Structure 1
């Protein structure tokens, strides 16, 4: 599947990483050139700087061949414009858009090209499941096509993993930490990185259950 994601903030980057882990062809775009430069070499996707509200740029980014468009910017107006362009001008089969302000939720429907409207507070895995549902790529907590689970867990003050280095965490066999999101930014998980309250981890595993992953950290 070819996925085009607009908005390289925390949410858009996490979605890109999960879809890339499922061996999809992912392009992540953002209007902020510095943000795109920061992510180069840190996320395994194609990164392009530019304004996704510009039809010419969307075409350059790959909208003509995209199977899935996710508008995940921090602006509802931008997400609506991106969705409308994706559906009406580029005939993208599946369009999902993030709703940042609940008062704007009524706008996010087929009239604006939105197949799936997702509130900003929706958990990452649920968002991806909703966004990709028509392509049968992601089932709940399971990337069946890749044969792996992608599981989220958040470190709190009470987590037993607080203060421990990633190398000291006893993960179930066949599991790997894909990314640690700290202060809203995904980071490459180095073995010596010590976990802090508020850290969010994406763990990819071929065999472990959600409960087994949580038990390793909580």
Structure 2
């Protein structure tokens, strides 16, 4: 699948990493030249510097042959413009856009070319599931539709689990760790995996709350 991700912030970068790891062809766009330069050589994706709201830039990034465009910038207006261009000008089959301000949610519909609207608080792998419409990227993604929540927690230098193996973390009942993202790379967890600051832990649970997960790791 050919994917364009607009916005190389934390969320856009993670999405690009996960989709690239699933053997998709990913192009990541950002208007900040310094951000693009920072990511050079660190991501298994094609990086493009420029404004994704410009049709010429989107065409250069490969919009004419894209199967999926995901707008993840921090500006709702930009995400709407990118979505409209992707759908109306380039006839991209599937377009997903992130809503940063909940008050703007009503705008994000098919009139603006948006097939999938994703609230800012949506966990990473739920976002990927909704955006791609696929279940082979991460096998556990369908669980969120079967009454199982996907919960994300970030490990900081102050987290009490830093330096501890996963086997030492007392998880709430009915909870399993789906994956850990370290340095932008998704990793299959093992009981001996040692947590460090900067890790992002994605869990699935049918009983635990976000507060309980936070208490277990923080």
- TM-score w.r.t. length of structure 2: 0.73
> Structure 1: how far apart are the matches of 2:34 and 2:73?
16
RMSD: 3.3
Aligned residue pair count: 185
Once the two structures are TM-superposed, the CA of residue 42 in structure 1 deviates from its matched residue by 1.0
Where 2:60 maps in the other structure, the secondary structure is: helix
Paired residues of 2:135 and 2:141 also in contact (CA < 8 A) = no
**Inter-CA distance 201–110: structure 2 relative to 1 (3 Å threshold):** same
Q: Who is 1:85 aligned against?
A: 85
Alpha-carbon distance between aligned partners in 1 of 2:79 and 2:66, rounded to the nearest angstrom: 17
- Provide the secondary structure at the position in 1 that maps to 2:129: helix
Q: Alpha-carbon deviation of 1:43?
A: 1.1
Show the counterpart of 1:59: 59
CA contact (8 A) 1:126 1:140 kept: no
Secondary structure, counterpart of 1:141 in structure 2: helix
Q: What is the correspondence of 1:34-113 to structure 2 with a 5 Å cutoff? A: 34-113=34-113
Q: Which runs of 5+ in 2 are unaligned?
A: 143-150, 168-177, 188-193, 206-212
CA 1:188–1:81: 2 relative to 1, 3 Å: same
CA distance in 2, matches of 1:35, 1:109: 30
Q: Distance in 2 between matches of 1:152 and 1:41?
A: 27
Gaps of 5+ in 1: 144-150, 181-185, 204-208
